[in-house]
Structure 1
Amino acid sequence: MKNLIIEKIKEIEDKSNVKVLFAVESGSRAWGYSSNNSDYDVRFIYCPPPEWYLSIDPQGVGGKRDVIELSIDELLDINGWEITKALRLFRKSNPTLFEWMRSEIVYYQNSIFLKRLNLLESKVFNSKVCLHHYFNIAKTNYQKCSQKNKLYFYVLRSLFVCKWIMQNHSFPPIDFQQLLHSLDIQGELKEEIEILFEHKKRSKLEGFEGKLLATNEFIETELIRLQDYISSLTAIKNVDTTEQLDNLFRETLRAVW
């Protein structure tokens, strides 16, 4: 599959006349709890040629869309963001982009671009923005867990991310097991999560009929605690990184073209 993904990335470059800056795996495979039938969610950032920017029509409108979407089949989905779109979202402390940057399944990367992006992360990271994002994921998916057991992982992982941010004031690693161990989860809760994890890996989670009493109690307690914590936070103003990101964009544009 990796060879096919790399081939498709090269096709995107040729057909769309762009340069891919980095491409990684997202979703359950990057989070460390994929099963045999999990799909591949490839995400990338790309840079069009200078002429694309030097026109009277604005970016992201009409024929100048700032995303590329390619759905190969039910197993492979490839989506990318144009570089200035990505950098604007990065400036706003976009958690999705932070996750892409931490993916250990890398299909391609421009190491200079990624290194400079990583150096700026501490300046754009906004704990309140990220906490609010993952709180909403946890809350929304927990309401649906009775219909789909696999959603427990979206809930638990989101709450683990929030606990990490509250404790460390930084963006966490994205691997589920790494988060689980770093937060020192113990007792019945850990046992239930490990049982869920094994069922998920074997693609048998929808048939799981365990009670998950400790898991549900943990989720409900953490959702209340997290909501109170976020409400208590004052607005956090990011450092203005516009000039640095402008320079990164311009230098990348010159370098790749």
Structure 2
Amino acid sequence: MREIILNKLKEIEKEYHIKILYAVESGSRAWGFPSEDSDYDVRFIYIHKSQWYLSIDPQGIGAKRDVIEVPINDLLDISGWEITKALRLFRKSNPPLLEWLRSNIVYDQQYSFIDNVRSLEKEVFYPNASLYHYLNMAKNNYREYLQGSEVKIKKYFYVLRPVLACKWIENNETVPPIDFQELLNEIISDGPLKTEIQQLLQRKMAGEELNMEPRIESINEYLDKEIKHIETYCKNLNVKVDDSTQKLDELFRSTLQEVWD
């Protein structure tokens, strides 16, 4: 599958006359709890040639789209963000982008761009943005999937992971790791709750369907308590970060020169 993905990325470069700076796996495979039938969610950052940026129409407007989306099939979902879009989102501490930077499944990495982005992460990271992103994800999935006496049991991971990510931010004040097992080991101590979660994880990765089953009370109790705690924590958190625009402008210009000159 890796070869198919790499060939598709090369096709995209030729078709759109771009250079791909970074391409990774996202979603359940990167999070560490794929099922046997999980598709591949490939995300990339790309840059156009210099003249594309020297125009009276800004990127992202009209025909100058700042995303590339390949038609999705049952196995493969590929999409990418243009570099200035990615850097604007990085300036806002966009959680999906920060996760891309931590993916342990890297398909392509060219030039110095990603290393330079990572060097600025501590200056840019705004915990409020990530906390509210993960909190809303946890609350929405918890409300939709885990409230009945029987629940879509695989959805536990789509609530547990954002809750654990919030706890990581609270404890460490840094971007949380993308891997679910790393989050679990850091946040939840050995005991019955962790054992329940580990057993569920093993079942999911073994390919069990994990559809409707009686809910797991110990996990529900943990999630209910922590979601309420995180809501209170977020309301009382007040963190300010410096404006990184100048440094990100310089990074964009230096990358443009490095890639095309």
TM range (shorter): over 0.9
Checking the alignment, whether the CA contact within 8 Å between 1:144 and 1:151 is kept in structure 2 is no
Alignment check: 8 A CA contact 1:40 1:77 kept: yes
Task: Provide the rounded CA distance (Å) in 1 between the counterparts of 2:235 and 2:164.
Answer: 19
Following superposition of structure 1 onto structure 2, how do residues 42-61 of structure 1 map, counting pairs within 5 Å? 42-61=42-61
**Identity of aligned pairs, percent?**
52
Q: 1:179 aligns with which of 170, 173, 183?
A: 183
Where 1:108 maps in the other structure, the secondary structure is strand
Aligned residue in 2 for 1:190? 194
Structure 2: how far apart are the matches of 1:29 and 1:126?
A: 26
Question: For residue 120 of structure 2, what is the aligned residue in structure 1?
Answer: 120
Q: Does 1:94 align with 2:97?
A: no
Deviates more, 1:202-211 or 1:62-71: 202-211
Tell me the equivalent position of 2:159.
Answer: 155
Match of 1:249 among 249, 252, 261: 252
SS in 2 for 1:20: strand
Return closer, same or farther for 1:157/1:145 CA change in 2, 3 Å cut-off.
same
Distance in 2 of aligned mates of 1:199 and 1:208? 14
Cα distance in structure 1, aligned partners of 2:224 and 2:72: 38
1:244 shift after superposition: 1.0
**1:111 Cα deviation from its structure 2 partner:** 5.0
Give the root-mean-square deviation of aligned CA atoms: 1.3
TM-score w.r.t. length of structure 2: 0.94
SS at match of 2:112: helix
- Pairwise mapping of residues 1-257 of structure 1 onto structure 2 (< 5 A)? 1-146=1-146, 148-207=152-211, 209-234=213-238, 236-257=239-260
Deviations 1:70-118 (A, max 9, x none): 1341110001000000000001111111100000100000251111101
> Structure 1 residues 146-155 or 53-62, which shifts more?
146-155
Instruction: Report the TM-score when normalising by structure 1.
Output: 0.96
What is the letter of the counterpart of residue 2 of structure 1? R
Q: Is the 8 A contact 1:28 1:38 kept in 2?
A: yes
Measure how far apart 1:237 and its partner are: 2.3
Q: Secondary structure at 2:223's aligned position in 1?
A: helix
Deviates more, 1:141-150 or 1:94-103: 141-150
Q: Deviation string for 1:207-233 (max 9, x for gaps)?
A: 462541110000000011010110111
Question: How far did residue 198 of structure 1 move?
Answer: 1.6
Amino acid at match of 1:249: F
Distance in 2, Cα, partners of 1:71 & 1:161 = 31
Aligned residue pairs, count: 256
* One-letter amino acid of the counterpart of residue 155, structure 2: L
Task: Work out whether residues 156 and 219 of structure 1, in 8 Å CA contact, stay in contact via their aligned partners in 2.
Answer: yes
Q: Is the 8 A contact 1:49 1:253 kept in 2?
A: yes
Code of the aligned partner of 2:96 = T
Per-residue CA deviations over 1:175-214 (Å, capped at 9, x if unaligned) read: 0011111124332211211121022112324346254111
Task: Flag structure 1 segments of 5+ consecutive residues without an equivalent.
Answer: none
Q: What do residues 100-150 of structure 1 show as CA deviations (whole Å, max 9, x unaligned)?
A: 000010000025111110110000101111111100000001112245322
In structure 2, stretches of 5+ residues that fail to align are none
